[in-house]
Amino acid sequence: MAVSRAVVERSSGVGTSPWIVSDELWNRLEPLLPQRERRFRHPGRKPLPDRQVLCGILYVLHTGIQWEYLPQGLGFGSGMTCWRRLRDWNQAGVWQQLHEALLADLNAASRLDWSRCVVDSPRQGAKRGSQTGPSPVDRGRAGSKHHLITDGRGTPLAVLLTGGNRNDVTQLLPLLDAIPPVRGRVGHPRRKPDSLFADRGYDHDIYRDQVRARGIVPAIARRGTRHGTGLGTYRWVVERSFAWLHGFRRLRIRRERRADIHEAFLKLACCLITHRQLRAVR
């Protein structure tokens, strides 16, 4: 019990392990968690506190360890306990609500660059599961793709998961639609940037017209043109964001059979990146 109490109490966020939940993050997350039903007969074993289970989920996300090997001596509970909470919280929309709240705080601090957004879609290896497909390079290997859209500073706005055989440009409009309405400023919530930057994988005039129809100026590199057009000056932020995203070892190679569990890890990682940027502002 002393070990599990230490996991919760060491929450200053300075000089601690990355899977320790800080008080600031927990105070934002706790009101969003769904309440479990109380059992009046045959209560069984008392469930672990949500904060300790969240530490276990973050431990898996950062280290990439398999659920069954989660060290119970740290007070996280079993891997199945953490897996179920991650599934239930994702189904309840907890990670999406947390991400929107963090984006609103960044927007209120004028730290979201709405003058442009940037998209990219690197391919990820996958062991198994849904939302996978044959690799365009090696048909014998399945894979998934992470599709990410960020603001001009590299803050994740939305992330999608598809099979590795999906063309990047097919997810351009779904990414724009996935940007949530961001509050924090006077007036209507904002969910549309002024311009869109993308590489040659998104080169298609039909999609350019559809982006323009939404009131967004497309800046998409064309195939066959020389490199060094200057778009990299603006696009590097999404590459950095992917480096942050794939710094979480659980996201480097997909091991989840269920797509919703991998998507839950993706959304949680975006929340953590956004929270880091918010702490940097303060």
Q: Specify whether 48 is located in the same domain as 141.
A: no
pLDDT for res 41: 59
224 belongs to a structural domain: yes
Structure tokens at 262: 């991998």
151 belongs to a structural domain: yes
Q: Specify whether 144 is located in the same domain as 71.
A: no
Q: Specify whether 139 is located in the same domain as 68.
A: no
Instruction: Supply the angle between the helices 79-91 and 94-108 in degrees, to the nearest 10.
Output: 60
Q: Specify whether 126 is located in the same domain as 241.
A: yes
Domains contained in the chain, number: 2
Q: Specify whether 87 is located in the same domain as 127.
A: no
pLDDT for res 243: 93
108 belongs to a structural domain: no
Q: Specify whether 144 is located in the same domain as 238.
A: yes
Q: 226 is in which domain, residue-wise?
A: 113-254
pLDDT for res 105: 95
195 belongs to a structural domain: yes
Task: Convert 165-177 into a string of H (helix), E (strand) and C (coil).
Answer: CCCHHHHHHHHHH
Q: Specify whether 60 is located in the same domain as 122.
A: no
Q: Specify whether 84 is located in the same domain as 119.
A: no
Q: Specify whether 118 is located in the same domain as 84.
A: no
Q: Specify whether 238 is located in the same domain as 131.
A: yes
pLDDT for res 15: 42
Structure tokens at 32: 């969003």
The pTM for the full model equals: 0.86
267 belongs to a structural domain: no
269 belongs to a structural domain: no
Mean pLDDT, 10 residues at a time, the chain of 282 residues = 42 61 93 78 76 95 93 88 95 96 95 94 60 51 84 95 88 95 92 93 92 94 72 86 94 89 96 93 74
Give the C-alpha separation, 271 to 101, whole Å. 10
Q: Specify whether 181 is located in the same domain as 64.
A: no
Q: Specify whether 72 is located in the same domain as 149.
A: no
Give the CATH number for residue 210. Answer: 3.30.420
17 belongs to a structural domain: yes
280 belongs to a structural domain: no
pLDDT tens, position by position, 146-196: 999 999 999 999 999 998 888 899 999 999 999 999 999 988 999 999 999
